[in-house]
């Protein structure tokens, strides 16, 4: 199952993740600058927070995506969008390429206000390290 | 042609950014005859350049993209009968509440019982050899080109400054298809939010801390810049120079309050390094040393759009209360609510310094 994974380590005044979650799986206790906590038990993997978070700090991780592979859902706001099946460079928070990944889904919803959610599969050991991909700049290849 | 007839209002607000709109909404809502003046042809201030999703709470429209927040606020102001006068550059403010402006052709005169200044900020420049070459622009200018005019002002960028403005503008340049080679930052660490920094680092952009720009050079425009490492006193270290080939340098080195009008109005000034420099002394009702002149937003200290919006709301309520359009009870409860929200935005490691600086200034006002 895809479950919430939050990487929002600084105390910034922000809480839309809390309000967008339909099942109350994200909480910020007390002051708005406190850090958000994700509750994996409650999370249904809907992905609303992934697209809504202005800090692009909410992810969904499925460690049992398929034998040896995990899936990671992350927000993506560059054009062109990747397409399903494409091989992409999966990157960590510092921009280091960790491994090749395969695009499994490209999700665009009206409610996401132009933020797409990309799901890629990567070897399981990278499940909690991947934060995005090298943007696709080759328009021709992407078509 | 001169328009000598002077129009009177309860509240005149100068500047239609988030602070001015917040003020206009509250004063209009309270029933004050409100005029909102702005030198631009479009209201919204910097909001319409902001295509990213905002932080903050629900009350600050968090998670919404900046330009959509602008549209929402505008709609609300119109609903509360706020009168807009766009393309009106205000150049004078007199002790009797007279405001003089020009629309390039006519001289416009208005009189207000209360004046709320929400003139915002201007971007700081940086001086180095070659800084006057075409291709050296401010980050705000780059943002206007890309997000408002939809043109790229260059191809290969070096961004100077890693505060939130530098980080956000870099992200938006990337979205527009520019090649951002590097961000350089003189401080030893990234100064903006980590989450903003992560967005561009994931895209592969290096943020080089502890480095400064030495010079820009080129025949008719920028063709290269030289950068160097700095020591703890921000002095360049000999022998660490590197050359970067680029055609555009975007400076994101801070903002300063636009105090000219407040100065013309005679408002007492003070200095706060944390809040961006010289700014008008004001209390926690947003009143300056003159009871009839209120301020809000970046003019009262460089912060963010959400703080500007709430300060504007507070100033609007205060003006309405002073005009007898709001009871003391109503005003007090609104004030407490808004100040609580502001205190939330001003806590944590990023906000706390600003809270303390604000309190220093409020103390000076008594
Ligand atoms: S994925 Fe859906 S259910 Fe899970 S935390 Fe995010 S918003 Fe809540
Ligand atoms: S919305 Fe995103 S950036 Fe804001 S607190 Fe939640 S996780 Fe952090």
Q: pLDDT band for B58, please (50, 70, 90 cuts).
A: confident
Question: Nearest C-alpha to atom 6 of ligand 2 is from which residue?
Answer: A17
The answer to whether residue B68 neighbours chain A at the CB level (below 8 Å) is: yes
* pLDDT tens, position by position, B327-345: 999 999 999 999 999 999 9
Q: Is the CB of A117 under 6 A from ligand 1?
A: no
Distance from CA of A94 to the nearest CA of B (A): 5
Supply the ipTM of this predicted assembly.
Answer: 0.93
For residue B95, what pLDDT is reported?
84
Of the candidates A9, A32, A131, which has its C-beta nearest B202's C-beta?
A131
For domain B6-122+255-365, the CATH superfamily is FAD/NAD(P)-binding domain (3.50.50.60)
Residue A61 near ligand 1, beta carbon < 6 Å: no
B195–A8 C-beta distance less than 8 A: yes
Closest listed ligand to the CA of A31? 2
**Residue entry with tokens 């207000």:** B112
Does ligand 2 have an atom closer than 6 angstroms to the CB of A14?
Answer: yes
Residue B4 has pLDDT above 80, yes or no: no
Which residues in A lie closer than 8 A to residue B54 (C-beta atoms)? 54
What is the residue extent of each domain of chain A? Answer: 3-142
Q: Which of B112, B84, B100 is nearest to B25 (CA)?
A: B84
* Residue B8 reports pLDDT greater than 80: yes
CA distance B191 to chain A (A): 12
pLDDT digits (tens, 9 = 90+) for A39-66: 999 999 999 999 999 999 999 999 999 9
| Residue B65 pLDDT level (bands cut at 50, 70, 90) | very high
Q: What is the pLDDT of residues B36-57, one digit of tens each?
A: 999 998 889 999 899 999 998 8
- B182 CA from centroid of ligand 2 (Å): 26
Candidates 3.30.1330.50, 3.40.920.10, 3.50.50.60, 3.40.50.970; correct CATH number of B125-251?
3.50.50.60
* DSSP secondary structure string for all residues of B236-302: BPTT--EEEE-SEEEE---EEE--HHHHHTT--EEEETTTTEEEE---TT-B-SSTTEEE-GGGGSS
pLDDT band at B60 (very low <50, low <70, confident <90, very high): confident
Q: Which of A51, A56, A48 is nearest to A114 (CA)?
A: A51
- Residue A16 has its nearest CB partner, among B62, B175, B345, at B62
pLDDT, tens digit (0-9, with 9 covering 90-100), for B136-159: 999 999 999 999 999 999 999 999
Examine the pLDDT at B2 and tell me if it is beyond 50: no
Instruction: Enumerate the CATH 3.50.50.60 domain ranges in chain B, comma separated.
Output: 6-122+255-365, 125-251
Question: Do A128 and A61 touch, CB atoms closer than 8 A?
Answer: yes
Asked if B63 and A52 come within 8 Å (Cβ–Cβ), the reply is: yes
Average pLDDT over every residue of B242-253: 98
Question: Across residues B290-294, what is the average pLDDT?
Answer: 95
* pLDDT tens-digit readout, B93-140: 998 899 999 998 999 999 999 999 999 999 999 999 999 999 999 999
Residue B208 above 70 pLDDT?
A: yes
Give how far A103 is from chain B: nearest CA, Å: 17
Number of inter-chain CB pairs under 8 A, A vs B: 112
- Say yes or no for a CB contact (<8 Å) between B349 and A94: no
Single out the residue of A64, A81, A58, A53 nearest to residue A131, CA to CA: A58
């Amino acid at each position: 199952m895809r479950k919430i994974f939050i990487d929002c380590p600084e105390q910034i005044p922000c809480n839309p993740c809390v309000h967008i979650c339909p099942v109350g799986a994200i909480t910020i206790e007390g002051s708005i600058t406190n850090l958000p906590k994700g509750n994996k038990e409650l999370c249904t993997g809907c992905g609303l927070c992934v697209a809504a978070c202005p800090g692009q700090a909410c992810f969904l991780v499925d460690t049992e995506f398929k034998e040896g592979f995990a899936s990671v859902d992350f927000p993506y706001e560059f054009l062109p969008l990747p397409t399903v099946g494409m091989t992409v460079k999966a990157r960590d928070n510092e921009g280091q390429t960790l491994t090749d990944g395969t695009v499994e889904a490209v999700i665009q919803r009206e409610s996401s206000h132009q933020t797409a959610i990309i799901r890629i599969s990567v070897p399981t050991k990278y499940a909690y390290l991947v934060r995005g991909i090298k943007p696709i700049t080759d328009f021709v290849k992407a078509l | 042609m001169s328009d000598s007839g002077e129009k009177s209002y309860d509240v005149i607000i100068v500047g239609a950014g988030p602070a001015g709109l917040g003020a206009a909404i509250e004063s209009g809502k309270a029933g004050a005859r409100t005029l909102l003046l702005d030198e631009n042809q479009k209201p919204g201030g910097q909001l319409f350049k902001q295509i990213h999703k905002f932080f903050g709470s629900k009350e600050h429209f968090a998670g919404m993209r900046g330009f959509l927040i602008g549209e929402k606020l505008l709609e609300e102001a119109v609903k509360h009968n706020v009168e807009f006068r766009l393309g009106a550059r205000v150049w004078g403010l007199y002790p009797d509440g007279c405001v003089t402006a020009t629309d390039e052709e006519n001289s416009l005169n208005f009189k207000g019982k209360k004046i709320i200044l929400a003139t915002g900020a201007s971007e700081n420049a940086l001086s180095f050899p070659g800084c006057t070459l075409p291709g050296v622009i401010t980050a705000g200018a780059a943002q206007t080109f890309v997000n408002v005019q939809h043109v790229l002002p260059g191809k290969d960028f070096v961004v100077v400054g890693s505060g939130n403005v530098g980080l956000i503008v870099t992200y938006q340049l990337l979205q527009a298809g520019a090649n951002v080679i590097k961000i350089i930052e003189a401080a030893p660490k990234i100064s903006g939010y980590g989450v903003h920094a992560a967005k561009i680092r994931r895209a592969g952009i290096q943020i080089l801390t502890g480095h400064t720009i030495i010079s820009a050079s080129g025949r008719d425009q920028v063709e290269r810049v030289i950068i160097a490492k700095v020591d703890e006193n921000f002095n360049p270290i000999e022998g660490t120079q590197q050359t970067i080939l680029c055609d555009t340098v975007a400076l994101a080195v801070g903002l300063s309050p636009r105090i000219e009008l407040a100065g013309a109005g005679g408002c007492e000034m003070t200095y706060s390094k944390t809040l961006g420099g010289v700014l008008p002394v004001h209390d926690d009702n947003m009143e300056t040393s003159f009871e009839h002149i209120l301020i809000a937003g970046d003019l009262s200290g460089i912060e963010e759009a959400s703080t500007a919006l709430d300060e504007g709301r507070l100033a609007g309520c205060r003006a309405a209360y002073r005009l007898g359009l709001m009871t003391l009870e109503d005003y007090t409860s609104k004030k407490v609510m808004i100040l609580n929200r502001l205190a939330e935005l001003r806590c944590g490691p990023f906000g706390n310094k600003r809270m303390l600086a604000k309190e220093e200034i409020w103390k000076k006002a008594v």
